[in-house]
Amino acid sequence: MYSNLSDFLNVLNKTGEVKFIRKKISPCIGISKITDAESKSPDGGKALFFENVEDSDFPVVTNMFGSSRRICLALGVENLDQLADRLRKFTEFSPPGNLKQAFNALSLALNISRFFPRRFRGKIPPCQEVIYQGDDIDLSRLPVLTCWPKDAGPFITLPMVITRSLKTGRQNMGMYRMQIFDRNTTGMHWHIHKDGSHYYREYCNAQQRMPVSVAIGADPATIYAATAPMPRGIDEILLSGFIRNKPVVMTRCITNDLTVPAKAEFILEGYVEPGELRTEGPFGDHTGYYSLADKYPVFHLTAISHRKHPIYNATLVGRPPMEDCYLAKATERLFLPMLQTVMPEIRDYWFPWEGVFHNVVVVSLDKEYAGHAHKLISGLWGQGQMSFCKAIVVIDHDMAPSDKKTLIQSLITQLDTASDISISRGILDVLDHSSPYPNFGNKIGIDLTKRCNGEPPRSLLTKIILPFPDENRLTSVMGKMPGVTRYKILFHKFYKNTRPENRFLALNAEKTFQRSGHDIAQHVLKSKRLELFNIIILYDKDIDLEDHSLLLWKLFNNVDPGRDIIKEGNRVVIDACKKGPMDHHEREWPEDLTFDV
285 is catalytic: yes
- Residue 253 has, within 13 A of its CA and on its CB side, a CA count of 25
CB burial class (10 A; 0-12, 13-18, 19+) of residue 252? middle
**What residues have CB less than 8 Å from 339, skipping those under 6 apart?**
346, 349, 383, 386
- Which amino acid is residue 578, in one-letter code? K
Which residue in 261, 275, 176 sits closest to 217, CA to CA? Answer: 261
- Which amino acid is residue 530, in one-letter code? L
| Contact in structure between 39 and 257 (CB atoms under 8 Å) | no
Say which of 36, 195, 219, 285 is annotated catalytic.
Answer: 285
- Exposure class string for 17-46: b at 16+ Cβ within 10 A, else e: bbeebeeebbbbbbbbebbbebbeeeebbb
- Exposure class string for 434-451: b at 16+ Cβ within 10 A, else e: bbbeeeebbbbbbbbbeb
Give the pairing type, strands 18-21 and 47-50: parallel
**What residues have CB less than 8 Å from 336, skipping those under 6 apart?**
84, 346, 348, 349
Per-residue HEC secondary structure of 324-369 comes to: HHHHHHHHHHHCHHHHHHHCCCEEEEECCHHHCCCCEEEEEECCCC
Three-state DSSP class for residue 523: helix
Alpha-carbon span 175 to 393, nearest angstrom: 29
Residue 402 sits at φ, ψ, to 5 deg, of: -90, 5
- Exposure class string for 259-288: b at 16+ Cβ within 10 A, else e: bbbbbbbbbbbbbbbbeeeeebbbbbbbbb
Alpha-carbon span 494 to 408, nearest angstrom: 8
Provide the annotated active-site residues.
285
